[in-house]
Amino acid sequence: MADETLTTQCCIAGGGPAGMMLGLLLARAGVDVTVLEKHADFLRDFRGDTLHPSTLELMHELGWMEELLALPHQKAPTLRFQSGSHDVVIGDFTHLPTHARYIAFMPQWDLLDFLARKASAYPGFHLRRCAEVTDVLRDQGQAVGLRARTPDGTLEVRASLVVAADGRTSTVRQRSGLEVEELGAPMDVLWFRVTRKPGDPEEPMGRFEGGQIFILINRGDQWQCGRVIAKGAFEPLRQRGLASFRDDFARLAPFLADRAAELSTWDDVKLLTVRVDRLRTWYQPGLLCIGDAAHAMSPVAGVGINLAVQDAVAAANLLAAPLLEGRVTPDHLRQVQQRREWPTRFTQRAQVLIQDRVLRPALRAPSNRTGLPLPLWLMRHVPALRRIPARLIGLGVRPEHVRTSAAPAMPASR
């Protein structure tokens, strides 16, 4: 027996970008929706936080872009990579037909707090924090709700539609038994932070250097640093010792050498295990998976958040009316997969191609190699090519637009 039971039209597992965006858009359309988030807040370290022009354009369509960009963020109109003495622009967003022609680097918790605040203006939106989803409720094979563990006991939420937006380790996906296709990844990423000082560069950058790949992201008063390593190489790296890791860091980013000592223990270094996979079928009767729960993305190009948001917009566009009419069928859910599967497959294929043709050879390169990988050489000598990755990264292959209408919001005093 549950300690508490709720009834809603749509119950969403996971308060990440996909879950919060879908909850917001459905509530804005007049749907009663409950989002279950297992944590008490959104403060998680080293989560993806690159807001691409496609996501910012959606905020513009909703009339909120300027308000969102009033929050602390850093703009990147171009993406750069360095190899030896070469500095190469690999993406130029200034030519995109959007209102924001840059990537905005913003902590994910700020984005999620912003979406939660906007969603709370609609009477049908309910966010339950500290509610960890543990199982899917079923009736004659159809998903009819979710069971969650809360500080006050067991919570059951009955719903016409269950949406799994609980990430790449989705409990809902696991409990549903949906078949996963693994695409593989040859690398993992080590994330850490050091102080950023006046006079440091402004724009994010990457660096290829003799078998090592290094990433720097401007976080205002800090640099978020990522070192790409071969899959399974973390333990051998640890055995070499933290001093060796700091020496590599100082060599890859000489202007930060004086800050290498800020890495005092291995606890300062977080391992991101990279996975690239997707569900063969994203839905079952009464249940739909979106975002990382449907397709875990590589960190290549930082498209994960933005693809998840695009999924949420497409799902809201296709499902708001059926939810309001109480007639969501498997065919409606199939339409969401059909709408978003091709962009997902295309993007993952591009990521796997970059992993296999660029990153894997770069990680295997001899330590004295200084030449540019061929794709970077082409970008350097044919500037027009920089618009292609900017278009694919910034907008994707099928950018979504908000098609749902807006129901009345509650007074601002709420």
Pair 228, 363: CB distance under 8 Å: yes
**Same domain for 43 and 118?**
yes
Q: What is the pLDDT of residue 364?
A: 79
Domain's final residue, options 266, 289, 310: 266
> Distance between CA atoms of 72 and 49, rounded to whole angstroms?
12
What is the number of domains present in the chain? 3
Number of CB atoms found within 10 A of residue 9's CB: 21
Selection from 320, 30, 4 nearest residue 145 by Cα: 4
Highest mean pLDDT among 75-79, 107-111, 143-147, 301-305: 143-147
User: Which is it for the CA torsion 81, 46, 271, 282, positive or negative?
Assistant: negative
Q: What is the pLDDT of residue 228?
A: 92
Query: Could you tell me the residue range of the domain that residue 231 belongs to?
Result: 190-266
**Same domain for 393 and 300?**
no
Residues in CB range of 255: below 8 A, 6 or more apart: 200, 201
- pLDDT above 70: residue 46: no
Please report, in angstroms and rounded to a whole number, the separation of the first and last CA atoms in the chain: 33
Please spell the DSSP secondary structure of 342-387, one letter per residue.
HHHHHHHHHHHHHIIIIIHHHHHS-TT--SPPHHHHHHHH-GGGGH
Helices (H) and strands (E) in the chain, counts: 12, 21
Quick: pLDDT tens for 51-79.
Answer: 999 999 999 999 999 999 999 999 999 98
Q: What integer is the mean pLDDT of 219-231? A: 90
CATH number of residue 181's parent domain = 3.50.50.60
**Same domain for 181 and 308?**
yes
**Same domain for 15 and 136?**
yes
What are the phi and psi torsion angles at 159 (to 5°)? -150, 155
**Same domain for 348 and 329?**
yes
Residues in CB range of 63: below 8 A, 6 or more apart: none
Token couple for 336? 């969401």
> Distance between CA atoms of 169 and 95, rounded to whole angstroms?
37
**Same domain for 5 and 126?**
yes
**Same domain for 214 and 73?**
no
Q: What is the pLDDT of residue 368?
A: 57
Residue 408 belongs to some domain of the structure? no
- pLDDT above 90: residue 238: yes
Quick: pLDDT tens for 4-32.
Answer: 999 999 999 999 999 999 999 999 999 99
Which pTM does this prediction carry? Answer: 0.93
> Distance between CA atoms of 100 and 97, rounded to whole angstroms?
9
**Same domain for 181 and 195?**
no
